[in-house]
Amino acid sequence: MKKLLFLALAVSLSVQPTYAQQTQTLPKEAPKLKLSEPLPANLFVELAKAINPAVVNISTTALPKNMPRGRDPMLDMLEQLYGFRMPPQQQQQRPQQIGLGTGFVIREDGLIVTNNHVIAGADIINVQLSEKSKDVYEATLIGSDERTDIALIKITPKEKLPVAVLGSSKDLEVGEWVAAFGNPFGHGHSMTKGIVSSKGRDITEINKIPLIQTDASINPGNSGGPLVNTKGQVVGVNSAIDARAQGIGFAIPIDEVKSVISILETKGRIARGYIGAALGDLDQDAAEYLGLGDVRGAVVTNMDPKGPAAKAGFKIYDIVTEFNGKTINGSLDLIDAVSDAPIGKPAKAKILRNGKAINVSVNVAERADDKPRVVRAAQKTYQGQKAPFNLGFTIVDPTPELRAEWGLPDDMKQPVVIETERSSQASKSGLRVGDVVLDVNKKPVDNSKDVLKNLKKGQNTLRIARNTRIQIINIEAN
């Protein structure tokens, strides 16, 4: 019987294929490719000749705003050294160049496409048609849109200009050859080549529109330049890079650009919804502190007192979790939801206020032209309340003067940090001047006295508002 078992085992082992036999069964034929004609050797040479004449250098300048200048720290050292007060320095304010970028001519009369971020904040926009040209044209801003990052500017040239032809990004394929044109780091009329690495990259921090990813080198200064296919057609507008790696650049699909050009030229901007609320985000610690679990949302950090949100009953530090049927995970989600909402019609919103869910209906208005408010640093010394237990920070109840100087909401009542001592527990924990204290050890505060009353020896947890974020600060009182 044992001999039979041994024989059966030997037979079964003998029929098992060896490793060499297994590898023979692997496929050998490469996938069948539908290949077109080989690329001409002079393809990119011809592309450079065709496109570069339509590419322009853009430089922007900001004029002095008569802002009060901060005191030079060197003066403090000299005063301590010599024992007397140094006279204030008279600093001459001159126009400051704030950026370099690229654009491309799309019409012979001088109409130019570029990125919104290239010209944002500029008082003067200068255009140079070529690096060696002595002629510098001052451009007029025709229209711009922040969320699509597209702007139209126009110059009045002495003659008809070469133009770049707009193609289509709809049929663009991954692996297709493309060339990027621009002025990286001010090096005029530079050209790089690569392929389309991916399509539809959804990066909401950069753009509302899903982007084209390419490995054609894009660097600072390329922004606003054309991404061109092998037919010499513009298929995208170079917009951004991923600074963490090489060979990862992004461009705005030209089909999306074409859809806004006529609107920007005729109206100057894209009509978008508006509710009159400034927004921030919850960080993970703040969400856990509030007991929200996986819930995320956009935090209302400021409001136009006459805007739709205020009229609908929104309050500062409400957390919006849903708007017009769309789930809100952060401020950009709410910006897009409001922007896309029908203007003049009510939209339903879900908010969290002090841990309670509330349904609100708000009438979406059309956003007016943005007029950025200049926030000045406080010039006056304010007397506040010093925190106990040597925590090393001072708070003050906001006055109309302080709100105006620090750009705080007009109806904000919570106390503000006006001083942190160097090397103190507060400073080491990350508390900063300008932080608004919302609660201390999970107890809401309405004024400075509430903060002092709720602080204790040992571990203290402060929920604060900083710019557009709600954060948690943990401070140990020795």
Sequence-ordered alpha helix ranges (H) in 276-361:
284-289, 308-312, 331-340
* Catalytic residue check, 117: yes
Residue 469 CA to residue 450 CA, distance in Å, equals: 22
**What's the one-letter identity of residue 78?**
L
Which residue among the candidates 59, 144, 145, 149 is catalytic per the annotation?
149
How far apart, in Å, are the Cα atoms of 439 and each of 24, 431, 448, 463?
A: 71, 14, 11, 5
* Closest listed residue to residue 260, CA positions, set 219, 222, 213, 209: 209
Q: What is the DSSP code (8-state) at residue 72?
A: P
Residue 8 CA to residue 15 CA, distance in Å, equals: 11
Which residue among the candidates 117, 145, 189, 333 is catalytic per the annotation?
117
Which residue among the candidates 223, 331, 339, 448 is catalytic per the annotation?
223
Other C-beta atoms within 10 Å of 297: how many?
26
* Closest listed residue to residue 97, CA positions, set 136, 135, 68, 129: 136
| Three-class DSSP category at 428 | helix
* Closest listed residue to residue 278, CA positions, set 314, 313, 241, 311: 314
Joined together, the tokens standing for residue 371 give 């007029």
* Closest listed residue to residue 292, CA positions, set 98, 36, 427, 463: 463
CA-based max dimension of the chain: 112
* Catalytic residue check, 223: yes
Sequence-ordered alpha helix ranges (H) in 181-313:
254-267, 284-289, 308-312
Q: What is the DSSP code (8-state) at residue 194?
A: E
Q: What is the DSSP code (8-state) at residue 430?
A: T
* Catalytic residue check, 59: no
Contacts 24+ apart (CB under 8 A), 308-311: 308/274, 308/275, 308/276, 308/362, 308/363, 308/364, 308/365, 309/275, 309/276, 309/277, 309/362, 310/276, 311/362, 311/363
Joined together, the tokens standing for residue 326 give 């769309």
Residues marked active site are found at 117, 149, 223
